[in-house]
Structure 1
Amino acid sequence: MSFLSSSNVNVTQGTVQDLQNDVVVGNGPEDSISDLAFSPQAELLAVASWDKKVRVYEVLPTGTTEGRALYDHESPVLAVHWSPDGTKVATGAADRQVRLYDVQTGQVQNLGMHEAPVKALRFVEVGPTSTPVVVSGGWDKTLRYWDPRSAQPMATVALPERVYAMDTSQKLLVVATAERHIGVIDLNQPQQLFKQTMSPLKWQTRTVACYPQGNGYAIGSIEGRCCLQYIDATEQAKSGFSFKCHRVPRPAPAKESDVYSINSIRFHPVYGTFSTAGSDGAFHFWDKDQKHRLKGFPAGPTSISSTAFNRNGGIFAYAYSYDWSKGPEGNSANTPIQLRLHATKDEEVKQRNKK
């Protein structure tokens, strides 16, 4: 199905002018940006990059940014996430390592290793006691739970394929792997898959994001299609759906469109609306409950590889950089690498009243 657009085209379709005041973060990564994450406690943005480095920037009240921390892995860094208290940053990399960086002391701790690159990770609270741990997903087809006090994983969960994306909210953890497998885990019982299913989308999963309420998730594929899923079967039958986006019609008389990968989906932490960003270099804000687009923005100079909302949703970070969608041969020294911050307005991200 297609999302319904508001009758006010000026509201739903942004212009280049709408992006002119977006802040460009200085001293950025020197290679593709793989992941972004804001601290839940402060205006700090952690950035993972293919240049093997992790950078932490502070967004100042003036809107400008300053570098606050820098550490590295031995290989491209593929995943980054903050602890709930904002004191630590976890990272996973192609060197198979999971590392923990203490923002206050500058100390780096090796939490553990996978047998293949680490593609995704999250801080979660597991079991009836809500024990805080880091969960990582790798191309070795496993999930591993790490307690910083132990050198060995607390638990390892075998998966059907390599991990491509992962997200969590409340007690929900959703893992998307190669070959379109989706694993759903209840973090009260973290050592087992609560549900294993196939993506309803026909092509490879690129990104997954859990709803803030923890009752479902959105997945995006390489085929410019987004799917909204619910854990409860009754709710899924009532409210689940998929829609096309990140497709650019070719000039007439051609009837085809160029189709682009959805690289990042993120939910607004306050309003529960969500963003998509893709290989077309564009990002959009959507309302899943009323099934319409709140606002779309014009494409930039290259792919958007990753995005993130800050803790109150007032800042939307997005990274222009090569997303490897065309393989190594698609990369070029001329491809822009730029991290930008967009100050969101309520009319862009807040649910509208029903008409």
Structure 2
Amino acid sequence: MCIFSTGGPGILKGRTGALSTRVIVSRARVCPVEGSPRRGVCRVGPPPFSLSSLEGVLAMRALSAVRPPLAPEASGAPLSPSRVLFVCQSGGQESSVQRDALRRAHALSRAFGGELFVLRVLPDSARHDVLLPHLSLLHAMNDLTRTKRALDETHAQCESLAPGLSSEQVLVRRGAHLHEAYRVASELKASLIVVPRQRGVSGRDVAWLASMADAPVLVARPSTRGDSIVAATDMRDPRYPVLHQAAAWSQRLEAPLVCVHNTAGATAGPATPARSAIDLLQVALRFGRDAESIVARRADPLEAILGEARTREADLVVVGVRPRTWLDIFSAQSLASRLVDRARRSVLVTPIRAVA
């Protein structure tokens, strides 16, 4: 027997509307029927969704059978960063955005028990003068002086904002900002890259860096009043790498986890949100902790993610990016890149490795 009605925490709720249908699993935990401890209750708020008897059975099974946690290796990117690379641009070492981002990177490295590295990238001004070769040497000496000054400034900044770093953990490079970030991340085998959200860092750049470095990239913004983590998933990958990454952060930071899935398109029927809620609930139960699950129906999944993040005043949004060809990079923007450009809170872009 499957009961559909309105209830409180630990139940399945629903709300319908034009292109904004949502099925909300308030808590992913078992809610037994009174007098029958082995049965689960699936409650849907008015107006009720029309579920078949088979879907009702699936709902009961999802609520009454807690599955073991998924294997950590099912996720693409490392769940516990061992080396965190913070990348700052030249000329912005005194900005409040970079100071807040560095504090956040330092706090994350301590929370995950990792090692923090700070990279400051200066523009490459080296040039060779053919007519006056002696000027090339003068330019090189000036560049060396600026690099030494930048290194001293970065050390001083780290002493006040991220104390305890050794000289080997503070680096200065010359070149293109994100290209140098990729090179250093590859050299260090960094498992998390942190960049401040500021001019010169676009969503496309962040998606490119996450894919090329094969490591999550955190676009750090000032913290919000809330502490919840919103994880966006399309549920296409049975490994659920984005949910794995978000669950690991949620557990380590002791932050509430909200899983968001958007159902839209020509194939989405009236019962699609309910079926998706059942599937998402089954997945949420595998993580071994309470997780709130949201199933929305919006024309644009970006609006569903941003809307839920605003409602929760979420401090972090986790989204995945799949490998893309060079043609894709120069054509349509991915959801991850659009989210980085639109969001007003920190965004963690995690790479999704192709299934072998």
Classify the TM-score, shorter chain.
under 0.3
Give TM-score, length-normalised by structure 2. 0.25
Structure index of larger Rg: 2
* Structure 1 or 2: more helix by fraction: 2
Q: Per chain length, whose mean CA-contact separation is higher, i.e. which structure has more relative contact order (CA < 8 Å, sep 6+)? A: 2
* Structure 1 or 2: more strand by fraction: 1
Give TM-score, length-normalised by structure 1. 0.25
